[in-house]
Structure 1
Amino acid sequence: MARGGQGLARVAVVVRAGAAPLWWCGVFAAGVGVLPSGITGRRIGVMAGAALFIVAAAVVTLVRRKRYTALARAAVRASKHDVLQDRGVAVRNWRRGHRWWLLLAFAAALGSAFAVPAAAGLLLAGCGTGLRLKAAWLGRLERAEDALLWVRVDWLAGNGGRPAGKAVRSYRSTGIAAGDAAPGGARRRTAALV
């Protein structure tokens, strides 16, 4: 980085990066998991899975909100020498760093279907939904503050990719138009040319 600048990744993008893989792994595992009747039977498995989906989505959405809010309020303005990481790069880095955990969770969800059909798959899907809801909440926070939140890439790397973990000491902020991701971490939509 030139002149003491830091590499920065969007907080909402990092949070949202795990949503799609967890959702799709969970949905696929739940779909395949319905095939065996399991120990409990399909009906109980699906009902337990639905309850786990709701609980997981709520817990993942709400956990560490105070930490995110405190870091957002104390965010300092990013330097002009800081390098803003593209959305695609941040998503790819997170998914690469967690691919074995995702694969292990998927395999565990498939294996558990022989005991409780579909339940673990729906739990995974609930975690993915919770991450998507948390990213949307961060997007509302960013719009309210009229600033995008960024975290240092080296702090993410030393913290298992968690943007609100212990290694993260502060956030940086930029104007709402910076970077290639909209508030909440989704792709920024460009206006159609007339």
Structure 2
Amino acid sequence: MAVVVRAGAAPMWWLGVFAAGVGVLVPGVTGRRIGVTAGAALFLIGAAVVPLVRRGRYTALARGASRAGKHDVLQDRAVTVRNWRRGHRWWLLLAGAVALGCSFVVPAAGGMLLAGVGTGLRLKAAWLGRRERAEQTLLWVRVDWLDRRGGRPAGRSVKGLRGTGIAAGDAAPGGARRRTAALV
């Protein structure tokens, strides 16, 4: 579940950083100082609000998670991330273009907001990871409950979560890549 949440964090962060960087170069209508100050406020608001959105739904789904059976289809982390990013690529590009376009009015503000949303998604995945570590179970969304574009991890089509042991799969708690110890 945290993998799907985390899948959009990096593209949003990097698109936001790029748009903010370009925005600092353009004086804009309001001026750089106002743009960067407004952007910093929007970054903080985005990073604070996004982790709190739908937290109750995530908690309810995690509380009702059942043990994954042998017929449940659970996919690798890399496949999940690739599917989500492919399914949302046009939305990501549109968000980046809007953030870049905002730079000509309020320099860096749109990009910093987009970067703040990416940071908020990363914080939400970290919260899910702490929950997974505390319960010693990885939470999974069945593939057939997500649509082919990657879906939403707590959307209407998700009826429940599946749980596996903490060492299952190729994802660590929180959706990060599992680090394997090097064999000596």
State the TM-score, normalizing by the size of structure 1: 0.92
Shift of 1:158: 7.0
Q: Does 1:59 align with 2:49?
A: yes
One-letter amino acid of the counterpart of residue 148, structure 1: L
* Matched residue, 1:35: 25
* Matched residue, 2:163: 173
Which of 93, 111, 116 is the aligned partner of 2:106? Answer: 116
Shift of 1:160: 6.5
Separation in structure 2 between the aligned mates of residue 76 and residue 158 of structure 1, nearest angstrom: 23
Matching of residues 135-146 of structure 1 within 5 Å: 135-146=125-136
* Matched residue, 2:143: 153
The SS at the match of 1:84 is coil
Gaps of 5+ in 1: 1-10
Separation in structure 1 between the aligned mates of residue 89 and residue 58 of structure 2, nearest angstrom: 25
Q: Does 1:94 align with 2:88?
A: no
One-letter amino acid of the counterpart of residue 24, structure 1: W
Separation in structure 1 between the aligned mates of residue 46 and residue 146 of structure 2, nearest angstrom: 24
* Matched residue, 1:25: 15
Q: In terms of mean alpha carbon deviation, does 75-84 or 184-193 score higher?
A: 75-84
Pairwise CA RMSD: 1.2
For the Cα contact (< 8 Å) 2:66–2:162, is it kept in 1? yes
Shift of 1:90: 0.2
One-letter amino acid of the counterpart of residue 129, structure 1: T
The SS at the match of 2:141 is strand
Which of 116, 121, 142 is the aligned partner of 1:126? Answer: 116
One-letter amino acid of the counterpart of residue 99, structure 1: R
For the Cα contact (< 8 Å) 1:159–1:165, is it kept in 2? no
Runs of 4 or more consecutive aligned structure 1 residues displaced over 2 Å after TM superposition: 81-84
Deviations 1:85-107 (A, max 9, x none): 11100000000000000000111
Gaps of 5+ in 2: none
State the TM-score, normalizing by the size of structure 2: 0.97
For the Cα contact (< 8 Å) 2:74–2:143, is it kept in 1? no
Deviations 1:19-46 (A, max 9, x none): 0000000000000011111111000000
Paired residues in the alignment total 184
